[in-house]
Structure 1
Amino acid sequence: MFGHEPRVFHLITRLLKGGAEAKTIATVQGLEGYEFTVGYGAEYDPDQVTTLERDGITTRQFRTIRHYNPVTTIPAVFAVARYIRKHEFDIVHTHSTEAGIIGRFAAALASTPAVVHTVHGVPFADDRNDLLERFVLACERRAATMSDRLVTNADAITADYLSYDIGTPDQYTTVYSGIDLDRFRDVTPAEDIDGDGVRLLMVGRLADGKGFDVFLDALEHLSRDNLSVYLVGDGPQREWLEREVRTRGLEATIDLLGYRSDIPEIMAACDVFVLPSYREGTPRVITEAMASGLPVVATDIAGIPEQVADGESGYLIQPGDDKALADRLEELIASREHRQAFGATGRERVEQFSDEHMVTELETVYQELLE
Structure 2
Amino acid sequence: MTIKLLLLARPAVGGMAGHIEALCRCLDPDNFQITLAAPSPAGAPVGATAGAPVSLRAIPHIDVAIVDGLVPARDLAAIRQIRRLAHSGQWDLIHAHGLKTSLLAALTLGGFRLPGFTGRFSGCLSPSSGRRPPLVITLHNTLPQRSGIAGRALDFLLRWILRPAAAIIVVSQAQAGEISRRRLASPDKVAVIPNGGFYKDTNRGDGERAAGAAAESEAAEPTSLRRELAGSGPSLPERLLIILTVVRLIRAKGIYDLLEVAALCRPGHNGDSRNGAGPGLLFVVVGTGPEEERWQQEIRERKLGKLVRFLGYRRDVPALMRAADLFLLPSHAEGLPLALLEAMAAGLPVVATAVGGVPELVTPGETGLLVPPHSPAALAGAINLLAADESLRKKLGRAGKEMVEREYGWETMAAKTAALYERVICSSSRSSSPFSPPR
Give the TM-score, by structure 2 length: 0.75
CA drift at 1:201: 0.9
Counterpart for residue 58 of structure 1:
60
SS in 2 for 1:193: helix
Higher RCO (CA < 8 A, seq sep 6+)? 2
Distance verdict in 2 for CA 1:340–1:49, change over 3 Å: closer
Contact 1:272–1:295 (8 Å) recurs in 2:
yes
CA drift at 1:36: 1.0
Contact 2:334–2:356 (8 Å) recurs in 1:
yes
Distance verdict in 2 for CA 1:289–1:145, change over 3 Å: same
Counterpart Cα distance in 1 of 2:102 and 2:189: 15
Distance verdict in 2 for CA 1:76–1:260, change over 3 Å: closer
The structure whose Rg is larger is 2
Counterpart for residue 118 of structure 1:
138
Mapping 1:25-104, distance limit 5 Å: 25-32=21-28, 33-41=31-39, 45-46=42-43, 48=45, 54-55=57-58, 57-63=59-65, 65-69=66-70, 71-72=72-73, 73-104=75-106
Q: Residue type matched to 2:57 in 1?
A: R
Counterpart Cα distance in 2 of 1:180 and 1:318: 27
Counterpart for residue 379 of structure 2:
325
- Asked whether 1:172 is paired with 2:190, we answer yes
Gaps of 5+ in 2: 48-53, 111-122, 126-131, 203-216, 227-235, 268-275, 427-439
Q: Residue type matched to 2:240 in 1?
A: G
Q: Residue type matched to 1:360 in 2?
A: A
Please, which of 1, 10, 14 is the counterpart of residue 13 of structure 1? 10
Distance verdict in 2 for CA 1:84–1:136, change over 3 Å: farther
Gaps of 5+ in 1: none
- Asked whether 1:356 is paired with 2:356, we answer no
Structure that is richer in helix per residue: 1
Q: Which string of whole-angstrom CA distances, capped at 9 and with x for unpartnered residues, describes residues 101-143 of structure 1?
A: 212442452142422111101230459xx96x76654332023
Counterpart for residue 169 of structure 2:
151
Counterpart for residue 271 of structure 2:
none
Counterpart for residue 316 of structure 1:
370
Distance verdict in 2 for CA 1:44–1:304, change over 3 Å: farther
- Asked whether 1:368 is paired with 2:423, we answer yes
Q: Residue type matched to 1:122 in 2?
A: T
Contact 2:262–2:283 (8 Å) recurs in 1:
no
Distance verdict in 2 for CA 1:167–1:361, change over 3 Å: same
Q: Residue type matched to 1:211 in 2?
A: G
Count of matched residue pairs: 358
Q: Which range is displaced more, 109-118 or 155-164?
A: 109-118
**CA RMSD, Structure 1 to Structure 2 (Å):** 2.5
Q: Residue type matched to 1:21 in 2?
A: A
CA drift at 1:337: 0.4
Contact 1:13–1:97 (8 Å) recurs in 2:
no
Counterpart Cα distance in 1 of 2:46 and 2:252: 27
Give the TM-score, by structure 1 length: 0.88
SS in 2 for 1:93: strand
Q: Which string of whole-angstrom CA distances, capped at 9 and with x for unpartnered residues, describes residues 4-51 of structure 1?
A: x2111111122x32211221121022112211111124x763475797
